[in-house]
Amino acid sequence: MKIRTAIYPGSFDPVTFGHLDIIDRASRIFDHLVVSVIVNSAKKHLFSVEARVAMLKTVLKGRKNISVESFEGLLVDYAKKKKTGIIIRGLRAISDLDYEFQIAAVNRTLSPGIETVFLMPRQRYTYLSSSVVRDIAHFKGDVSKLVPSHVVKAIAGLGK
């Protein structure tokens, strides 16, 4: 039997309940899910790559068909390295579709075997993004309903 592996790439800065909803859905569809933190040194992040990977590993601990790692470079090259052509992307709203459609088309142009699978989160997470969490955290707002408890503690620790 062929094992179907998919990659769910993202900045996960920080990981939100919306991300976790997509991870749950994808992990039920595919035999193995690689949650991959993108290294993008050109972007200002709240947490280091190592911290983001650690946060994801903590929340996903015990999930047998999910692994967490980071990567740098083109997603299509990373997918080849992981021996998969399946990319998972979340769509929160119609506004995400235009951007995600462009990226999926470029990925398929660079590597014709790449397929992007779009998953919608539960309705209660359609407004939720890492940037919303970062904005709320910047003003010392309560993010406890948006991210796992260990992420809330990590965010609180940034201000000290």
State residue 3's pLDDT score: 73
Please write the tens of the pLDDT for every residue from 44-71.
889 999 999 999 999 999 999 999 999 9
Is residue 72 pLDDT above 80, yes or no? yes
Measured in residues, the chain has a length of 160
Write out the catalytic residue numbers: 19, 43, 92, 130
State residue 31's pLDDT score: 95
Q: CA-CA distance, 27 to 18, in Å (whole number)?
A: 14
Q: Which residues contact 100 (CB under 8 A, 6 or more apart)?
A: 89, 91, 116, 118
Of all residues in the chain, what percent carry a pLDDT higher than 90? 80
Q: Work out the pLDDT band at 42, boundaries 50, 70, 90.
A: confident
Q: CA-CA distance, 13 to 21, in Å (whole number)?
A: 16
Output the pTM of the full model: 0.93
Please write the tens of the pLDDT for every residue from 145-157.
999 999 999 998 8
Q: CA-CA distance, 123 to 119, in Å (whole number)?
A: 12
Average pLDDT, the chain: 92
Bridge partners of residue 88, in order along the sequence? 117
Q: Per CATH, the architecture of 5-158 is what?
A: 3-Layer(aba) Sandwich (3.40)
Q: CA-CA distance, 134 to 127, in Å (whole number)?
A: 14
Listed by start position, the domains of the chain span 5-158
Is residue 18 pLDDT above 90, yes or no? yes
